[in-house]
Amino acid sequence: MKKQWFVALAATVFFGIASAQSSDTIAKVKASGEIIMGVREASGALSYAMGDGKHGGYNVEICQRIISNLEGLIGKSVRIKYMPVTSQNRIVLIQNGTIDVECGSTTNNEARQKQVAFASTTYVEEVRIAVRANSGISSVAQLNGRNVAVTAGTTSVQLLRKHERATGIDFKEIFSKEDEDSFALLESGHADAFVMDAQVLAGFIASSKRPADFKIVGEVLNVEPLAIMLRRDDPAFKKLADDTIAGLSKSGELAKLYDKWFMQPIPPKNIKLGLAASEATKEAWRHPNDKPAEAYAKK
């Protein structure tokens, strides 16, 4: 009996220590010499696969700047391991320690703040609708009776449902695992519209075979702050991330990074999105904060 009690106690202590270590990202990285960065395969200019195992994008480069400052703090170089994540698994992978930081296109909202932490907002997104140019659709109301592509695990799904209840329009949601699958439904004609972040839509349209065949239309469905995702209860790493972003903002480097990824041709196809920073994004740069989406809705 005593032996069983001792084993149980030892296991509890061990897992408690493991949990504490996993929440201290700086100590974890210093010990291992490696940081695992969660990235998206196709989140527009924010985070995407460039081929040959390489990843890039606005948020990816901001994360690289954070890691550079982390190296200065711990006094050693750090290997970056890039791990593709999806809308469905990104939060779990942060929580269980599989990835140390998520540098994709994640909306910061109150529900998610109960599960993870967010660095200061780097981009404020507008949720819009992409349609075929000849569809005749120019507003949400015209989605009545139409098939709408949505990506599972994204906040766009929630927005779409709320809008349906508010206006009484009736449309069929077609769910896809990833954003590129949703856009493929629009391209093939299986969906009449695709609801998603405007910069993601702009990226898919710009890289499609016939960009003139598509357009972004309708009212702005929502304004959402996007941010780099971190583990909760890790104030030291969050401070490092926040201080890095504040420094980039103050120096004007954040605006330059935005211009690099959104206003200039980007690899590997040298496609230019041509999506200027919104006033809400510029305001987030001027006054760095980690306010959730609900705070924007109250304005």
* pLDDT of res. 154: 82
Q: In whole angstroms, what is the distance from residue 36 CA to residue 25 CA?
A: 10
Residues 6 or more apart whose Cβ sits within 8 Å of residue 39: 47, 49, 55, 57, 60, 82, 83, 84, 85, 103, 104
Given a contact cutoff of 8 angstroms between Cβ atoms, the answer to whether 39 and 60 are in contact is yes
The class (CATH top level) of 126-223 is alpha beta
* pLDDT of res. 48: 95
Token pair, residue 109, equals 């909202």
- CB-facing half-sphere around the CA of 16: CA atoms within 13 A: 6
* pLDDT of res. 166: 54
Given a contact cutoff of 8 angstroms between Cβ atoms, the answer to whether 281 and 123 are in contact is yes
Q: What architecture does CATH give domain 33-122+227-297? A: 3-Layer(aba) Sandwich (3.40)
Q: In whole angstroms, what is the distance from residue 283 CA to residue 279 CA?
A: 6
Q: Tens of pLDDT along the chain (299 residues)?
A: 434 433 333 333 333 334 444 579 999 999 999 999 999 998 889 999 999 999 999 999 999 999 999 999 999 999 999 999 999 999 999 999 999 999 999 999 999 999 999 999 999 988 889 999 999 999 888 998 999 999 988 877 777 777 765 577 888 999 999 999 999 999 999 999 999 988 889 889 988 999 999 999 988 888 889 999 999 999 999 999 999 999 999 999 999 999 999 999 999 989 888 888 988 999 999 999 999 999 987 65
Conformation bin of residue 132: beta by default, left when phi > 0, alpha when psi is -120 to 50: beta
Which residues in the chain are classed under CATH 3.40.190.10? 33-122+227-297, 126-223
